[in-house]
Chain A
Amino acid sequence: MTGRVVGRAWTFGDDVNTDAITPGKYLTIRDPAQLAPHVMEGVDPEFARKAQPGDLLVAGKNFGCGSSRETAPAALKAFGLGCVIATSFARIFLRNAVNIGLPILECPAAVQGIRDGDTIEVDVTAGRIVNRTTEVTFEATPFPPFMQELMAAGGLVAFTRRRLGLD
């Protein structure tokens, strides 16, 4: 969850659920690369055709509510989305995103200040979001230190290996 991203913003509303991000009919597919062409299909069937890797997803409150299926953040990551910015994330989605290293930021002000199609630059590590279309800057809510450490460690696999004394 590091680095700088520049891309087009794709905006969505509140309560985008996991059935919309990766519909249940694809649950027997486990390879995130195979799921990426279907990502967000439940809200916008054309999304995967229109969006480019590096683009950003901007959504309202409770993004990723519903199922614990990790295919949802995994498919967003496999698609190559630069970052997901939301007013708030549903708990299991947030956890899964942190564990697997999908860049996410919570920033209600940015969600208000970004329109569909705007060019957005994000410093994921610093939590700085710049709307290049309007030249307005937003600061995301920092994640608690424990989660930042987990992200810096490279996600939960690295964390687990360390706890087990394997690294």
Chain B
Amino acid sequence: MGMTITEKILAAHAGKAGVEPGEFVIAKVDVVMGNDGSTAGALPVWRQIGVERVFDPDRVVIVLDHFVPNKDIQAANLLAPVRKWARAQGIRHFFDEGRTGIAHIILPEQGLVGPGDLMVGGDSHSCTNGALGAFATGVGSTDLASVLALGEVWLKVPASQRFVYHGTPPRWVMGKDLILATIGRIGLDGARYQAMEFTGPTIAALSMSERLTMCNMAIEAGGKSGIIAPDEVTLAYVRGRAKRGFSCYASDPDARYAAIHEFDVSGLRPQVAKPFSPDNVGPVDEVAGTPLDQVFLGSCTNGKLEDLRIAAGILRGKKVHPDTRLIVIPASQWIYLQALREGLLEVFAEAGGAVSTPTCGACFGGHMGILGADEVCLSTTNRNFVGRMGHPTAKVYLANPAVAAASAVKGAIASPDEV
């Protein structure tokens, strides 16, 4: 019986010839990531474990992303011990403000994770890294502390679901729409405990930026991981970035799947997830005209350079609607610099948008663009649960960057065809 790409990566890291779904393994970790919040949470556990040094300072990546620049005294006091600990441990890949970005964007961009890696991160969206053909999954702070000490993690081998996409996406339809349509079909727990393997001709033609977006949102369907087998697109992205060697795995033709889903994307419209769940999905036309107080363009889902380029292409020479606020947050310092050099940030500022240095921003309701009672926001982020971005009565719609830009101009949810 053949194995899936996920089973092959887990077997290789557990030192076994093969693994079965449901089996528990202790696997070696190539890269472990902690962000500001999860690392702060891991430090007391680290002290309880009572170990002196991390297993390998070059395989640990610490990214301050949720509360940078320090948003208040409490955040400053939360981050200070993390900064001190990272320096004391000799963590080379330590990203602080002015050199940082959102962890899930930094790791691929800086070549810190590569094909065939086993990566765990102290954030649920760590599954983003699966776009490179790695097994990547999110964990909590206690797990993080344990992995930092051991360099290994306990895992239940997940069954895989195969998602096959056919057809050429119409104009304005992006990776975000493919994954929203997928979550809309299978639901918030449709892939609970399972690996989501994205494949098919549509994926083969998709850029790394779009692939990262798709894998980013695997967790919104309950997925343990999202993964795309490495191909020429992956290798072109990884070459010149990878800080370590890598291995390319692919699923066997006779690999076992818990389910196989087929999608034809050729007639797909841009998708929108309506309040209050990422699986409450419909075409943009269904909610077009909904007035907006705020549009948020950014996050680990859609704050990448390509996302900013698409949005700037729509906003160039136009103004953000006077009743609507636009917040733009590039997802990394490198993206910020490139966007600056390309004149994209000027486009956003000229249009009347607020542009911030890289940070997670308003996505999780902690910083930069919190919503008040009854306010309505269209956001390129990944979650729109009650109270996620601020007040519990505020409503968040999720969409791609083109819909976000068009909606900012209209002051209401709009298809990019309309502007």
Contact = CB atoms under 8 A, between A and B. Distances in A.
Interface stretch (B34-42, B57-65, B163-171, B345-353): B34-42
B189 A88 contact: yes
Interface in B173-210: 188-189, 192-193
Interface hub of B122, B141, B390 (most chain A Cβ within 10 A): B141
A23 interface: yes
B290 interface: no
B24 interface: yes
Contacts of A127: none
B45 A157 contact: yes
Contacts of A43: 386
A15 to B, nearest CB: 5
Interface in A66-94: 66-71, 73, 88, 90-92
B142 A19 contact: no
Contact of A68 (B38, B78, B154): B38
Contacts of B277: 15
A22 to B, nearest CB: 11
Interface hub of B38, B45, B78 (most chain A Cβ within 10 A): B45
A166 B47 CA distance: 13
Contacts of B50: 161, 166
Contacts, number: 146
A62 B193 CA distance: 10
A155 interface: yes
Given A66-B383, A91-B192, A166-B51, A157 B142 contact: yes
Given A17-B385, A66-B385, A146-B154, A25 B143 contact: no
A62 B388 contact: no
Interface stretch (B66-74, B294-302, B399-407): B66-74
B124 A67 contact: yes
B364 A27 contact: yes
Nearest to B147: A160
Given A66-B383, A70-B41, A163-B150, A96 B140 contact: yes
28 contacts: A15-B277, A19-B364, A19-B387, A20-B385, A24-B364, A24-B388, A25-B365, A28-B67, A28-B78, A43-B386, A61-B189, A66-B219, A68-B38, A68-B126, A68-B140, A69-B37, A69-B38, A70-B140, A70-B142, A88-B189, A96-B140, A146-B24, A157-B49, A159-B146, A160-B146, A161-B50, A163-B152, A166-B51
Interface of A: 15, 17, 19-20, 23-25, 27-30, 42-43, 61-62, 65-71, 73, 88, 90-92, 95-96, 99-100, 144, 146-147, 150, 155-157, 159-161, 163-164, 166
Interface of B: 22, 24, 37-38, 40-41, 44-45, 48-51, 66-67, 71-72, 74-75, 78, 122-124, 126, 138-143, 145-146, 149-150, 152, 154, 156, 188-189, 192-193, 219, 222, 224, 277, 364-366, 370, 383, 385-388, 390, 392
